[in-house]
Structures are given as C-alpha cells and as structure tokens.
C-alpha cells in the first residue's frame, strides 16, 4: 500500500454552534488525486482548510506524512511549506509582479537566493505557460492566468501535497479549461492532490477517488466510475442528478 | 475706502517682500517641526495600530487608552504638558518638546488611519501568505503593510497637512516658526492683519508643496493596480 500523505481521524469542527464537520475520517495516499464534491455548505472547503490549518479543528487527529500535527505545539509554518494551496479567488499579491509573487515565499521563507528563486520561478511560469507575463502585475492578467500564477506560486515551495479550493469557480467559462489542464499536468507528474470542485468532468477524468460530502459528513467515497455511474447512497444520487 | 484698500495692499506687498529672509528662516523651522513630528508619528501610529489589531486584549486597551486621551484633550494642552513635563526631567529644547508633542498627537490619528487600511486588505491576502508557510509577522510585513500603506496615503497626506498647520502652536512656547514671527512682527508694528496674512501666504505655499509631494508618492506607488 502506498504511503499515506494525509490521514484524518474523527475530525470535528464547529463555527460557533454550527457543527460543520462531523467525525470526518479521510486519507490520501501518495500521488493520489482526491476530489471532494457536495453542495455548498456541505463542509468540503472547511475540511480542505483544516488540512493546512487555515481552520483549526475542534477535535480529532490530522497526520501529514505520518506525523500528527498539533497546531498549538507544532510549527504550522513548516507543515504548510509541504502543503500548497490554491484559492477560489486566487489571492495573488497585487503589489508584486507575477514573478515577484512566485519568488516571495522561497526567498522569504526558505532563504533561497534571489537569482536561484528567479531561475526556478521562471521555470515554473514556463510550465504554466505564462513565462512572458513574468514582469506584469496581476491586475493585467485574466482570471485563468491569475489562477495559473497562483498554482506556480504554490509550487515554488516544492510542496508534496497540493490543495485546490474551487480553483475554477470564479472563472469565466472559457477560462476554466486552461486551469484544469494545468492541474491535469500536475496530476500526471504524480502530485498528491485534494481538489474541491464542481467540475465533474475533471473529477471523472483525473480523480483516483471521489468523496461526496453532505451536511458535514462524508457520505460516500469511491472511484469516479462507481460514484458517477453507480452511486450507492440515495443522497449521492440526488446530488448528482441535480447537477448532471 | 478705495484708498484705504490700496494702501493696505501696498503695505502688505512691501511687508511680504521685505520680510522674506525672516520668514524663510521661520519656514525652515516649521518644516523641520513638521518633518520630525510626522516621521516619529508614523512609527508611533504604526505601533499602536498593530497593538489595536493584535487580538491581545491588554495591548488593545493600551492602544485604545492612548487614542482616547489624544482625541479627548486639546493639542495645545498636550504640547504644554510635553513642554513643562519634559523640561522638568530632561534638558530638552522647545523645538523637541513641540516635535514630540505633535508626534504624540498625530500618532493617534495615524494609528487609526493605519488600522483602517490594514483591516481593509482582504483576509485572502493573509491566508495566501500563511498558506505558503510565511509566519504571521512576515505576512504582515511583506504582504499586508505594503498594500495597507498605499491605501493609507490619501488620509495620511491629509493628516500631514493638519500636522504642518498645527506646528503653529509651537509659537506659544517660544519656537520662532512662521506664526511666532508673524505675531512678533505684528506686535512690533501694531499691524497684526498684514503680518498674519503674510504668515498665511507661507502656510499656503508649504501646504501646496506638501500636497505635491504626497501626490507624487501616490503616483509612484500606484504602478500596480489592485487585484
């Protein structure tokens, strides 16, 4: 069995009185691509954000690469270097150029030299097809380009796990494809990925496993083929028939 | 009436031209007071702004108390307290006690300006920085503050102008800046009106120059648009 990159046991999360994650058990193996689907408010984004501690769990255990992470004791900043994140609204740094965005964390956090960070940054921009935009500011890019820069920025820290929080939901329809393509390339290279998305085509094509969440619980999980063609749970069937 | 008007303006121009060396010197003092006090006030303001957003209650109380006291008492009282208070314990010139008094005063308003501009930067920026492994302090310094500072510039410029004009209160503790020179000249010539107007001309010019500088900085920092 492949090495477990993420393991979550009995995770619970509350926002005030609102119980948003209920006894979540979840794991992701090395190089696995797991897609989280479910209606809005089902807890999938919260769950993803718990994995790099942007949200703090209320109870349960989270293991990253086999080590339990306790955000009160452990250095979350170090854990986060291994876990890249891509946001729905890109969150690029508007006061920095495209290359500046990509170079920021390697130089500031890892202490990489400017020249080295620049070299690596340019390679990454090449990879996401935006080398010629290196010196532009984010405000001059389209949504799809912004999101690809955001992916390059996360990759610059050489993470071993990548989290995607609805990466295409804020994009114009014609720009979705370029971002999904970048993600597919990443999956092919063997990146471990957890993706929250409404793009069922992507889930079907790229995911190793699909997880359906409903009201804070994992209702069903399985290979995309099984989930999409032969869902066992009634709620999964209802959800899929409402969106497909 | 008409003749009076003519003779008044004639006297005004004469005064303006003949006193230029006196007022150039006084303007330098006004500028120095403004520059020193604003420079210190920016750091004071930033410090208390960070206390206010620290989410640590005692630190927030300290910042709130400071802002409450500054906003709740007249500037002239603050300047006199600094002057008499500081000169009692510490050999300090009138210039420095006014500078520190003005810095103490402007710092509170600048703290509120910074707090507002820091809080106006979206939460997503902090999350992006943190998700890359940057510490909270590093995210603040590298990601939030540069953007917040740019947003703070228009209200800061406004505060700088207020600070420049408030430096005229230094006259009351014997610093020979523009207003002090004007009132001295007025007393000597029994012609306050002329000399007050002369001082107003100098303040207008200085404020104009300060506005120009602030708008140049704004332009320079606006190379990158907001996302």
**Dist. CA B83–CA B90, nearest whole Å:** 10
- For the record, the structure tokens of B203 come out as 């303040």
Position B227 scores a pLDDT of 41
Vertex A81 angle, CA A78 and A87, to 5°: 130
Of B122, B132, B142, the CB nearest to A80: B132
Closest by Cβ to A91, choosing from B124, B134, B135: B124
CA distance A170 to A172: 7
How many Cα neighbours within 13 Å face the side chain of A168?
20
How far apart CA B98 and CA B116 sit, in angstroms, is 27
CA trace torsion B169, B175, B176, B177 (10° rounding): -40
For the entire predicted model, the pTM comes to: 0.88
**ipTM above 0.95?**
no
- Distance, in Å, from the CA atom of B204 to the CA atom of B125, rounded to the nearest integer, reads 40
Which positions 124-163 of B are in contact with A (Cβ < 8 Å)?
A: 124-125, 127-135, 138, 142-143, 146-147, 150
Closest alpha carbon to A70 in A82, A57, A85: A57
CB A223 within 8 A of CB A210: yes
Of B127, B132, B224, the CB nearest to A105: B132
Q: How far is CA B196 from CA A85, A238, B174, B185, B204, in A?
A: 63, 81, 17, 9, 12
Record: contact A94-B132, CB cut-off 8 A: no
Q: B27 to each of A157, A234, B39, B63, B95, how far by Cα in Å?
A: 53, 81, 18, 34, 14
**Would you call A139 and B224 a contact, using CB atoms and an 8 Å cutoff?**
yes
Q: Can you list the positions of beta strands (E) in chain A?
A: 4-15, 18-29, 33-37, 59-64, 67-68, 83-86, 161-165, 192-196, 209-214, 217-222
Contact criterion met (CB < 8 Å) for A108 and B130? no
Residue among A38, A29, A34, A40 nearest A6 (CA): A29
Look up the CATH architecture of domain B21-221.
Orthogonal Bundle (1.10)
Distance from CA of B211 to the nearest CA of A (A): 24
Taking each helix axis as running N to C, give the angle between helix B75-89 and helix B94-120, from 0 to 180 degrees, rounded to the nearest 10: 130
- Beta strands at A33-37 and A209-214: parallel, antiparallel or unpaired: parallel
Length of chain A: 244
Q: Which architecture does CATH list for A4-242?
A: 3-Layer(aba) Sandwich (3.40)
* Domain ranges, ordered by start, for chain A: 4-242
pLDDT at B3: 73
Q: pLDDT truncated to tens, each residue of chain B (227 aa)?
A: 677 777 788 888 989 999 999 999 999 999 999 999 999 999 999 999 999 999 999 999 999 999 999 999 999 999 999 999 887 777 788 899 999 999 999 999 999 999 999 999 999 999 999 999 999 999 999 999 999 999 999 999 999 999 999 999 999 999 999 999 999 999 999 999 999 999 999 999 999 999 999 999 988 887 555 44
> By the CB < 8 Å criterion, does B204 face chain A?
no
Chain B hits for A96, CB-CB cut-off 8 Å, are 224
Whether B223 and chain A come into contact, CB under 8 Å, resolves to yes
Residue B145's pLDDT is: 96
Q: Are B182 and B196 in contact (CB under 8 A)?
A: yes
Domain spans, chain B: 21-221
| Alpha-carbon distance A207 to nearest alpha carbon in chain B (angstroms) | 23
Which parts of chain A have pLDDT scores under 70? 1
What pLDDT score does B2 carry? 76
Measured between CA atoms, the residue of chain A closest to residue B143 is A93
Are the C-beta atoms of residues B165 and B203 closer than 8 Å to each other?
yes
Instruction: Check residue B223 and give its pLDDT.
Output: 59
**A-chain residues near B147 (CB < 8 A):** 93-95
For the stretch B203-208, contacts whose Cβ atoms lie closer than 8 Å and that sit 24 or more positions apart, written own/partner, are B203/B164, B203/B165, B203/B168, B203/B178, B206/B27, B206/B30, B206/B31, B206/B34, B206/B164, B207/B161, B207/B164, B207/B165
- Tokens of residue A216, six digits: 């804070």
Report DSSP letters for A62-130, one per residue. Answer: EEETTEE--TTTS-HHHHHHHEEEE-TT----TTS-HHHHHHHHHHHTS---HHHHHHHHHHHHHHTT-
């Amino acid at each position: 069995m492949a090495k477990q990159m993420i393991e979550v046991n009995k995770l619970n999360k509350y926002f005030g009185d609102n119980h948003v994650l209920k006894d979540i058990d979840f794991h992701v193996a090395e190089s696995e691509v797991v897609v989280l689907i479910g209606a809005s408010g089902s807890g999938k984004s919260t769950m993803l954000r718990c994995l790099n501690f942007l949200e703090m769990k209320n109870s349960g255990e989270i293991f990253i690469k086999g080590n339990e992470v306790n955000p009160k004791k452990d250095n979350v900043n170090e854990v986060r270097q291994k876990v890249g994140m891509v946001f729905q609204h890109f969150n690029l740094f508007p006061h920095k150029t495209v290359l500046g965005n990509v170079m920021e964390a390697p130089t500031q956090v890892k202490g990489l030299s400017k020249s080295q960070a620049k070299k690596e940054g340019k390679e990454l921009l090449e990879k996401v097809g935006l080398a010629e935009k290196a010196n532009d500011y984010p405000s001059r890019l389209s949504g799809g380009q912004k999101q690809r820069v955001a992916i390059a920025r996360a990759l610059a820290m050489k993470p071993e796990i990548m989290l995607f929080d609805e990466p295409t939901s804020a994009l114009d329809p014609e720009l979705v494809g370029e971002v999904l393509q970048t993600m597919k390339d990443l999956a092919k290279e063997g990146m471990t990925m957890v993706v929250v998305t409404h793009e069922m085509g992507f889930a079907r094509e790229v995911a190793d496993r699909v997880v359906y969440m409903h009201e804070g619980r994992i209702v069903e999980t399985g290979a995309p083929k099984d989930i999409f063609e032969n869902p066992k749970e009634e709620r999964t069937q209802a959800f899929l028939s409402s969106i497909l | 009436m008409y003749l009076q008007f003519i003779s008044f303006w004639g006297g005004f121009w004469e005064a303006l031209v003949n006193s230029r060396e006196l007022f150039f010197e006084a303007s330098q003092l006004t500028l120095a007071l403004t520059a020193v006090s604003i420079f210190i006030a920016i750091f004071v303001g930033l410090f208390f702004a960070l206390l206010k957003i620290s989410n640590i209650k005692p630190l927030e109380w300290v910042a709130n108390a400071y802002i409450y006291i500054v906003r709740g008492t007249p500037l002239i009282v603050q300047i006199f307290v600094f002057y008499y208070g500081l000169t009692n314990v510490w050999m300090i010139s009138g210039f420095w006690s006014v500078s520190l008094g003005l810095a103490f005063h402007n710092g509170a308003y600048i703290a509120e300006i910074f707090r507002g501009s820091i809080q106006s930067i979206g939460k997503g920026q902090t999350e992006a920085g943190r998700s890359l492994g940057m510490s909270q302090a590093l995210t603040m310094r590298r990601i939030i503050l540069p953007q917040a500072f740019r947003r703070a510039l228009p209200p800061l410029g406004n505060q700088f102008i207020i600070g420049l004009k408030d430096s005229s209160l230094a006259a009351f503790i014997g610093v020979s800046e523009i207003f002090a020179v004007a009132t001295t000249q007025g007393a000597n010539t029994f012609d306050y009106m002329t000399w007050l107007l002369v001082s107003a001309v100098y303040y207008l010019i200085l404020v104009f120059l300060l506005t120009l500088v602030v708008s140049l900085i704004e332009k320079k920092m606006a190379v990158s648009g907001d996302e």
